Structure 1
Amino acid sequence: MATTSRFSVRAMSLTIAALSTGTALPALASMGNIGTTYGVMPVDVATAQSLSMFNDQVSATYYNPASLTKDSRGELTTGVLHAEQELRSANPNADGDIVANSPSQHVLIGMKTNLGSITRYKHPIYLGFIAGVEKYGKELLAFNSQTSDTGQFLEYGREPLFLNIGGATPIWRGISAGLSFRVTLDATAQLDAVSTLGGETSRERLSVNAKPSLKSIFGTTVDLGETFCPDDGCFLDGWETALIYRTKSSAKTSVNSNIIVTQTIPDPGLSLTVATIDSFQPETYGLGVQYKGDGWRFGGSLEQQNWSELSHQFSNDSIKDQQSVPPSDRIKFDDILIPRVGAEYRFNETFAIRGGVAYEESPLASTRNPEINYLDTDKIIVGVGVSATYNRTRLLAYPIRMDLGYQYQQLQERDFTLVDYNGNETPVTADGDVQVFTGSITLKF
């Protein structure tokens, strides 16, 4: 039996290595993405996503595609994001308490253009996309799904490929609508081989497939002044509202292997099947409001995230394996409501400063989930940022904009009970600090 187990582990290791496209394990992936965990562009990071529903940059394809209509010019954006994490789990029976401290490092690129100019009707139709790739563009697929006896954090770590594409158009008097898609990967792998007892394989056959999965995002914006009093000024001037809906999404990986061991396991061989999910994002409803004055704006948003669905998703995850766990010990998630507020002030045509704050309650309801041992806490999020827009340059015909953003996340202390593979229980206190640094350059055209 020990020999059989060794061969099955070897088969699994070969297959996951192929799926990881050259990435060394562990990749420390998470149930999150940069859009919800930190923010995509510097404006989103700096305002703790409080004004993201109204931003006209390409990150609107994720937060609210309708906002692509707020600037008629085309746009090309590139940037970087670096997140430093120190996630702790204080354990009185162990030396040190740092569970994870590997950074998340993204290169970002996005573009927006008006496709309406190629039609006879000249009605504006804006198309945009934004992509973020881990390890500054070197890692397209970060994958690690595991159980743990020392604890693992739910949402932090390396983030897999972040890709959104969508479009928007004005509808009527200050009302715009947009539709975009979050692109995730459903990866499958099949490994067949014949092996000796010494582990030497022959007649190997490996196939790997990764197909895109599209999950929709709907968004609308309403300029209340332009909608209700377009000709004469009224008390609604300057007020804008936004509504968004994001369907749930996740990256899925399925691994199948079949190993024949000479003189030990005859044909059809040892079969091993694993199915798991990663980068889960819940069904989300959002409402945003902002007021724009002369060179300044303030606003906020409320997000309803339905994380309870993840409890059902894990029932089909063979690594998390919740079907074999007693109902009282199964991992549980709650739906949460996230409030965010922020403001921006423009000193002149060139310089602007912004900031925001958010409070995010943990969706993880259970503080004891044997073997998986997920950790997650409530978070206080604060961000600040600056931007500089140069309308005249020696080379470019259109403005160039540079943005910087910083965000600090404080993970509040929360008590958990870790349960190892032998059923031993250990009380721990989870907390942590996360710092995010990001910058971008945007060219208008």
Structure 2
Amino acid sequence: MVPSPRFSVRAVSLAVAAVSASLTMNASASMGNLGTTYGVMPIDVATAQSLSMFNDQVSATYYNPASLTKDTRGELTTGILHAEQELRSANPNANGDVLANSPSQNVLIGMKTNLGSLTRFKHPIYLGFIAGVEKYGKEMLAFSSETTESGQFLQYGKEPLFLNIGGATPIWRGISAGASVRITLEAAAQLDAVSTLGGETSRERLSVSAEPSLKAILGTTIDMGSTFCPDSDCFLNGWETAFTYRAKSAASTSVNSNIIVTQTIPDPGLSLAVSTIDSFQPETLAVGAQYSGDGWRLGGSLEQQNWSDLENEFASDTIRDQGSVAAASRIGFDDILIPRLGAEYQLNENFAVRGGVAYEESPLTTTRNPEINYLDTDKIVVGLGVSATYDRTRLLAYPVRLDLGYQYQQLQERDFTLVDYDGNETDVTADGDVHVISGSITLKF
């Protein structure tokens, strides 16, 4: 007997639904991540990541591990981040024009310490790590991959587990180097079941495994004055430069299933293979410079993100490829350059203010992506923040630092054509507003 198309769809739905329930915990994620979409710590949020390459906090393990050497003290930091998103698409079939407004809520923890005392050479070697978990720690593996008729934004949603660990050391006369790894998960599942035509299953067997994937992050900082004129004053004093490289990374899931249908599909059954990625981080190269004066600093960076690699990733993605090489080629991405500029001013010994601005061009080049219906726009990012240092601690050896950061992202209007499963087309205009609030407390030791 030849299986009916209706049952084939039902079996496929059964397999995907069962594995989705075990892996995603009903979460919605995106092609962005915490570090690039918003900023890791409040200082990164407040400066639109413009000064992140020179910050000595634990977020340096992601932006520039070499900056871990800028403060010789150990550090323990905890923080939270809340992002409110109103992503709009002028589509009359999508409950008004608000397409997505689910917030992203992260709790963060990081630590840095000097391991140099473990050796006889006493040469400083700094180790740092930082972790971020969605929904204030309750949701570690936010993951979603789907087609849609009403459109979906490329880089916004709940963020999966954010985990970085790395180290750094001074090299020579103001030059430091560091390396870290971004850790993502590659999950695999095998589903075997026997089902009736009515969809009632028996003898289900589901095995799920996951292994870490390590992607390198390399960085270096150069204190120009210490390097080129260490024994005298010169025009290079106060200048710092930095260079970083982040390899591309992504969370991925692959599913293999085998469904036997009584009286319809005998052993070995109907086989289904699904492979998909999420939270893609493009290969990134960045160069930055800052000048520090008496109680202030001004700096910026230029960041190249190689999103064109995502086209190749989608070619092997069975959700977005839709079983057709031609379908995958319909989604196009460009490499982009992101300029960032920021400043910080020390009001007095206890308070500092900072701000930053960035312009992020959309990497999505195609405005018609049938059934996947991705939406993405250029955006202007503006941030403001404040730090307060409390130095009257009775029990602690060093002052306690509190940081607050706010960021506003304005998504510029852009026209798209949505194509549903029947081939019907709808012209929409995508735009949106994103508000981000982040806070942290830092203890030195």
SS at match of 1:313: helix
Deviation at 1:323, TM superposition (A): 6.2
CA contact (8 A) 1:329 1:368 kept: no
Residues 315 and 322 in structure 1, CA contact (< 8 A), matched pair in contact too: no
Letter in 2 for 1:87: L
Q: Which residue of 2 aligns with 1:318?
A: 318
Instruction: Compute the displacement of 1:170 (Å).
Output: 0.1
User: Using the alignment, how far apart are the partners of 2:190 and 2:412 within structure 1?
Assistant: 43
- What is the identity, as a one-letter code, of the residue corresponding to 2:305? Q
* Equivalent in 4, 7, 12 of residue 3 of structure 1: 7
Segment drifting more, 193-202 vs 231-240: 193-202
Q: 3-state SS of the aligned residue for 2:392?
A: coil
**Which residue identity does 1:131 align to in structure 2?**
A
Q: Does residue 1:281 correspond to 2:281, yes or no?
A: yes
Match of 2:392 in 1: 392
Task: Say whether the 8 Å CA contact 2:311–2:328 is kept in structure 1.
Answer: no
Displacement of 1:325: 5.5
Correspondence for 2:18 among 6, 14, 19? 14
The answer as to whether partners of 1:31 and 1:279 remain within 8 angstroms in 2 is yes
Confirm or deny: 8 A CA contact 1:329 1:370 kept in the other structure: no
Structure 1 Cα separation of the partners of residues 39 and 327 of structure 2: 36
Corresponding residue SS for 1:320:
helix
Match of 1:266 in 2: 266
- Counterpart check, 1:100 vs 2:137: no
The SS at the match of 1:158 is coil
> Partner of 1:126 in structure 2?
126
What 5-or-longer segments of structure 1 have no aligned partner?
A: none
Deviation at 1:264, TM superposition (A): 1.3
Q: Check conservation: 2:91, 2:150, Cα contact below 8 A.
A: no
Structure 2 match to 1:245:
245
Gapped runs of 5+ residues in structure 2?
none
Mapped contact 2:385–2:403 kept (Cα < 8 A): yes
Letter in 2 for 1:4: S
CA contact (8 A) 1:16 1:255 kept: no
Equivalences for 1:135-154 in 2 at 5 Å?
Answer: 135-154=135-154
Match of 1:43 in 2: 43
Determine helix, strand or coil for the equivalent of 1:109.
strand
Amino acid aligned to 2:334? D
Are positions 1:109 and 2:109 aligned together?
yes
Q: Distance in 2 between matches of 1:246 and 1:260?
A: 45
Query: CA 1:368–1:354 in 2, change beyond 3 Å: closer, same or farther?
Result: same
Which deviates further from its counterpart, 129-138 or 386-395? 386-395
- Matched AA of 1:6: R
Q: Which residue of 2 aligns with 1:60?
A: 60
The 2-side partners of 1:52 and 1:428 are apart by 36
Query: Which residue number in structure 2 is paired with residue 215 of structure 1?
Result: 215
Q: From the superposition, tell whether residues 346 and 110 of structure 1 become closer, same or farther in structure 2 (CA, over 3 Å).
A: same
- Does structure 2 conserve the Cα–Cα contact (< 8 Å) formed by 1:64 and 1:220? yes
Match status 1:161 vs 2:161: yes
Q: CA RMSD in A?
A: 1.3
Aligned mates of 1:417, 1:329 — CA distance in 2:
17
Q: What stretches of structure 1 move > 6 A for 4+ residues in a row? A: none
Does structure 1 retain, via aligned residues, the 8 Å contact 2:140–2:160? yes
Question: For residue 244 of structure 1, what is the amino acid of its counterpart?
Answer: T
Three-state SS of the structure 2 residue aligned to 1:12 is helix
What amino acid sits opposite 1:188 in the alignment?
A: A
Contact in 1 for aligned 2:405/2:439 (Cα 8 Å): yes
- Count of aligned residue pairs for this structure pair: 441
Q: Deviations over 1:19-62 (max 9, x none)?
A: 22xx22xx220001010000000000000000000000000000
**Rounded Cα–Cα distance in structure 2 between residues aligned with 1:302 and 1:147:** 34
Tell me: CA distance 1:95–1:190, structure 2 relative to 1, closer, same or farther (3 Å): closer
Query: How far apart, in 2, do the equivalents of 1:350 and 1:93 lie?
Result: 53
CA distance in 2, matches of 1:134, 1:108: 9
Q: CA offsets, 1:367-405, max 9 Å, x none? A: 111111100000000000001112330221112100000
CA distance in 1, matches of 2:323, 2:49: 37
Q: AA paired with 1:229?
A: C
CA distance in 2, matches of 1:326, 1:247: 28
Shift of 1:95: 4.5
What letter is aligned with 1:283? Answer: E
CA gap 1:112/1:329 in 2 versus in 1, 3 angstroms: closer
Deviations 1:192-227 (CA, angstroms, capped at 9, x unpaired): 111223333222211100100000000000000000
CA contact (8 A) 1:403 1:439 kept: yes
TM-score (norm 2): 0.97
Question: Which secondary structure state, in structure 1, belongs to the residue aligned with residue 438 of structure 2?
Answer: strand
Q: For the Cα contact (< 8 Å) 2:94–2:150, is it kept in 1?
A: no
Question: 2:329 & 2:77 partners in 1: Cα distance?
Answer: 47
Hey, what does 1:409 align to over in structure 2?
Answer: 409
Q: Note the C-alpha offset of 1:259.
A: 1.1
- One-letter identity of the residue aligned with 2:46: A
CA distance in 1, matches of 2:328, 2:56: 47
Q: Which sits farther off after the overlay, 253-262 or 57-66?
A: 253-262
Residues 377 and 299 of structure 1: CA distance in aligned 2, closer, same or farther (over 3 Å): same
Letter in 2 for 1:7: A
Post-superposition offset of 1:328? 10
1:331 matched residue in structure 2: 331
d(CA) in 1 for partners of 2:389, 2:328: 56
Quick one: structure 1 residues 297 and 210, their matched pair in 2 at CA, closer, same or farther if it must change by over 3 Å? same
- After alignment, is 126-135 or 91-100 more displaced? 91-100
Q: Is the 8 A contact 1:19 1:189 kept in 2?
A: no
1:5 alignment partner AA: V
In 1, the alpha carbon distance for the partners of 2:191 and 2:237 equals 63
3-state SS in 1 of match to 2:31: coil
SS of the aligned residue for 1:362 comes to coil
Alignment-mate amino acid for residue 389 of structure 2: T
Shift in alpha-carbon separation, 1:413–1:203, aligned structure 2, 3 A:
same
Query: What is the rounded CA distance, in whole Å, between the counterparts of 1:41 and 1:346 in structure 2?
Result: 19
- After superposition, the C-alpha distances for 1:264-295 in whole angstroms (9 at most, x for unaligned) are 11000111110001011111110000000111
Does residue 436 of structure 1 match 2:445? no
Find out whether 1:177 has 2:177 as its counterpart: yes
2:347 corresponds to = 347
